[in-house]
Structure formats: structure tokens, C-alpha cells
Amino acid sequence: MAGRAERANAIRAHILVAAERLFAEHGVYVVANRQISEAAGQSNNATVTYHFGTKADLVRAIARKHGKQIERVRERMLERPPGSDDVRDWVACLVRPVTEHLAAKGNPTWFARFGAQVMTDPALHEVMIDGALTSSSLVRIPDGLNRCLPDLPLPVRAERKHMTSTLRGAGISGEISNG
């Protein structure tokens, strides 16, 4: 039984790598499950559906894979400035975990391009954001930012919130709240 589970996990890992690359290169809806199966070394065209379900589920799995790694870096960073009043510390907690993750992946990294492809699609954008919004570390960052900027006018906060919304899917979230 353990051998079967290990084989299934290996197949899933190959599918995730192949799908991420193909989605980054061509776009999510252009790539067929057959192409992903072939790129993952699988002859059965139903393999992707069997292991992941829908395309949205596959996108979610790719985002979750990277999100876990990014979250570990962010948690480590948040241990340092728990009471910081420097905006740069809090912005670094948003941005650096993603850049460190991408740098660790080496070249080429498909995740950044995959994230850009997915974030331009309204339906898949929500899939990526849902994963980012469940991050425990991202919930703490807006509070830290708000403490640093108590006098920031509401329109400026709203504009910054809008600007950061496109960064959420890559794991860079944590808006300055409107309140």
C-alpha cells in the first residue's frame, strides 16, 4: 500500500511541475490535460483529472505547493519585527518571501510567470487569492502596516489596497485596511 501511495505522490508531483511550466508558457486554458499528461510522462490522458479534478483544482494545487514554501519564509521573517514601527520591515515581510522563493527555484522559474497568467483570469484570480487569504502570516501584516501609518488618509489606503490586490496570487498580500 505504501508503494502505491508513493507512486501516486510522484505522479502528482510530475503533473504539478509539467502543468506549471505549460501554463506559464501558454496560458491555463490553452493547455489540454493531454499535454500535461504527456509532459509528466503519463500515457493516460485522464491522469490529470484523476489526480486533481478540474483545472481550477490543479491551479490551486500549484499555488498551494509554492504558498507553503513562501509561508515558511514569511513566518520566519515575522518573528523579527513583531513590534516594528518601520514600514519597510512590514513591506519586506510581504515581498521578500516571494523573491527568496523564486531565487531558490533557480532559472527558469515558472511560478512567477504562472502567477501572472493566472492573475489575469478573473475566475482563476479568485483561486489564487483564496489560498493567499488563508495564510496566517498575511493576516498579521496589515495590522503592522496600519500601526506604522495611523494618519494615512482613507483614499490613499484604498488606492494602496487596490494596487496590492494584483500581488496576492503570488503570495504577496496583506493590504492596508480601510479602517
Q: Is the pTM of this model over 0.75?
A: yes
Q: Where in the chain is the domain with CATH 1.10.10?
A: 1-53
Q: Judge contact between 132 and 104, C-beta under 8 A.
A: no
Alpha-carbon gap, residue 3 to 84, rounded angstroms: 49
Tens-digit pLDDT profile for residues 113-167: 898 888 888 888 888 777 666 677 877 787 788 788 878 887 887 787 666 654 5
The one-character DSSP state at 122 is H
- Would you say residue 171 has pLDDT above 60? no
**Residue 53 neighbours by CB distance under 10 Å:** 12
pLDDT of residue 176: 36
Average pLDDT, rounded, for the chain: 83
pLDDT of residue 115: 87
- Would you say residue 59 has pLDDT above 70? yes
Burial class (CB in 10 A: 0-12, 13-18, 19+), 111: buried
pLDDT over 70, % of the chain: 86
Tens-digit pLDDT profile for residues 66-117: 988 889 999 888 887 567 888 888 888 888 998 999 998 888 789 988 988 8
Of the CATH numbers 1.10.530, 1.10.3470, 1.10.4160, 1.10.10, which one belongs to the domain with range 1-53?
Answer: 1.10.10
The one-character DSSP state at 121 is S
Alpha-carbon gap, residue 129 to 168, rounded angstroms: 6
